[in-house]
Structure 1
């Protein structure tokens, strides 16, 4: 979040600056420095456990700024990670079919069935020979044939069971479990995001302008904890008359003069208001038309911006 600094400063200075549109020469105008602050906040609520910066400190990008307590978020992340591990394991189990020991049991049963089938087949061959010479009754031969057929059928059944055990799960089962894994991955990402929101870092290099909470205080979601001012967010505002504004354009160079500055600070115009304002008294007439002014904004370089301070009065000389 960024807010324009100096609502009160602008109210106090506008009347003075608009009335003071007089300048030392035709190219010099009065103005003031303004800062667009960045308010660092978390999307989650919590107790402030660590404030890593102090007011007036300059920080680098991604530097730790503050941390909120995160017991619930850490537990939620661990739970989501465990659920993801379980879902992936179930998917792997479906993809590989039965476990090797289970397949080995079925293979052993198949081997036993094959041996029984061979034995029954040999017995049937002997009984058929005995029946032809009248050595056994027809009922005994029938029993031998039935036993041979039964053992052969058992071999076919167990052989099919081995083939099935080596197959992965059905397509529908795989699709359903894959969806479960994706849902668990999304839950982990969500939990990780919430945990990351409890640790706020600097979005850019800049000045810590103010800290708004103390360690131990409860911070509501969205409430700023630290107020930062990146150098690129420092700008100046000044006002020019209607006879001058038409000569200005974005990118035009100018010089900034300020009390205490060792040298002039270069800047470039970045914005020219298209709405006219009147210096007090706000009464339109042909006589006071000369008081018609336009607001102009300019930005110095980031290296020069640190020499300026929000609310500071300056003088601008157009090039």
Structure 2
């Protein structure tokens, strides 16, 4: 019974002619071979568009009083995009200028030296103190003579002890007065010498340092006033507005995001066997999903390190491969490409590269 059923089953199965099976196998093998064989003269890879983003900010803090651009505006490098309140900086500038003028006046005074009238006055005071010295010396000499006379009288019992003591007291007072007059003479002479010599070098150097410090303060506030006017560092499109008029901003706080769409590039990823056949500066063409002839570009960067394909590129199988990043730069003055746009790059192999 089992043998009969098996024989019946064999009869029911269709038989493929031997030549047909051979042709089918050959066709499948050929199709597989054709599908796996890449083009011999170029490579076509996918990636996305990127561009230079610049956060435009003021170097100083303050209240934003004017914003001259809106999202989507195209601006040129050097265009004024915003202004901050500079009233506090202007007040500080006025104070710094007053300090500099005071320091400069003090320096001029030191460089000019003493006035002739001051020197004459000092010389007159010196002459007066010298006269006081001479008078004190005469008084001292008289007092000493009195002491000697009363000592002699006392010795001969012709005078009193009290007279002698009074004479000694007058002598001591005259001596102290003469000594004080001599000290005033020395001080007066030093004053005259100082006025005639003028200011010391250290005093002049200190005055010049104060002038320099005031000038530095002026330069600092001058820069702060200039920095309150914010200009665009590059030409591009205003991609995002990050602050509104009236906000109080910290120093270096971003006001807007500027994107340079005129010079964009695409980061594409190629497998290792293709890398030796690429060269910097060689032509490449970018294609968007909209079709068309594509945009001409050049290979501006070839990575020297392998990496896994980014997750936003192709399939999970492709993301598991080790690839090399290649940068294709394009002149996008027409604005065709946008940041984040998926593209495909067709890169012909360099001449002579194998």
Instruction: Work out the CA distance in 2 between the residues paired with 1:305 and 1:296.
Output: 23
Q: Residues 199 and 275 (structure 1 numbering): CA distance in 2 closer, same or farther, change over 3 Å?
A: same
Q: Deviations over 1:160-202 (max 9, x none)?
A: 96x9767652211111111111111122222222333322111
1:41 to 51, 57, 71: 57
Instruction: Work out the CA distance in 2 between the residues paired with 1:305 and 1:267.
Output: 14
Aligned-pair CA distance for 1:33: 0.8
Aligned-pair CA distance for 1:49: 0.4
Preserved CA contact (<8 Å) 1:261 1:307? no
Q: Secondary structure at the match of 1:50?
A: strand
Superposed, which structure 2 residues align to 1:3-42 within 5 Å?
26-42=42-58
Which residue matches 2:89? 73
Preserved CA contact (<8 Å) 1:103 1:166? no
Aligned-pair CA distance for 1:212: 1.3
Which residue matches 2:103? 87
Q: Deviations over 1:228-285 (max 9, x none)?
A: 113465221112122212222332221222356875422222222312315754799x
1:268 and 2:305 aligned: no
Superposed, which structure 2 residues align to 1:46-61 within 5 Å?
46-61=62-77
Instruction: Work out the CA distance in 2 between the residues paired with 1:87 and 1:34.
Output: 55
Aligned-pair CA distance for 1:306: 3.9
Instruction: Work out the CA distance in 1 between the residues paired with 2:197 and 2:291.
Output: 81
Preserved CA contact (<8 Å) 2:47 2:269? yes
Preserved CA contact (<8 Å) 1:37 1:233? no
Q: Residues 203 and 93 (structure 1 numbering): CA distance in 2 closer, same or farther, change over 3 Å?
A: same
Instruction: Work out the CA distance in 2 between the residues paired with 1:198 and 1:250.
Output: 42
Instruction: Work out the CA distance in 2 between the residues paired with 1:265 and 1:168.
Output: 79
2:206 to 161, 164, 176: 176
Structure 1, gaps ≥5 residues long = 1-21, 111-156
Q: Secondary structure at the match of 2:343?
A: strand
Which residue matches 2:116? 103
Which residue matches 1:190? 220
Which residue matches 1:310? 339
Q: Secondary structure at the match of 2:233?
A: coil
Instruction: Work out the CA distance in 2 between the residues paired with 1:44 and 1:187.
Output: 15
Preserved CA contact (<8 Å) 1:231 1:305? no
Instruction: Work out the CA distance in 1 between the residues paired with 2:291 and 2:80.
Output: 32
Q: Deviations over 1:202-221 (max 9, x none)?
A: 11222222211111122233
Aligned residues: 243
1:246 and 2:276 aligned: yes
TM value normalised by structure 1: 0.64
1:225 and 2:255 aligned: yes
Q: Residues 232 and 242 (structure 1 numbering): CA distance in 2 closer, same or farther, change over 3 Å?
A: same
Which residue matches 2:308? 277
TM value normalised by structure 2: 0.58
Instruction: Work out the CA distance in 2 between the residues paired with 1:166 and 1:233.
Output: 72
Aligned-pair CA distance for 1:87: 0.8
Which residue matches 1:203? 233
Q: Residues 261 and 191 (structure 1 numbering): CA distance in 2 closer, same or farther, change over 3 Å?
A: farther
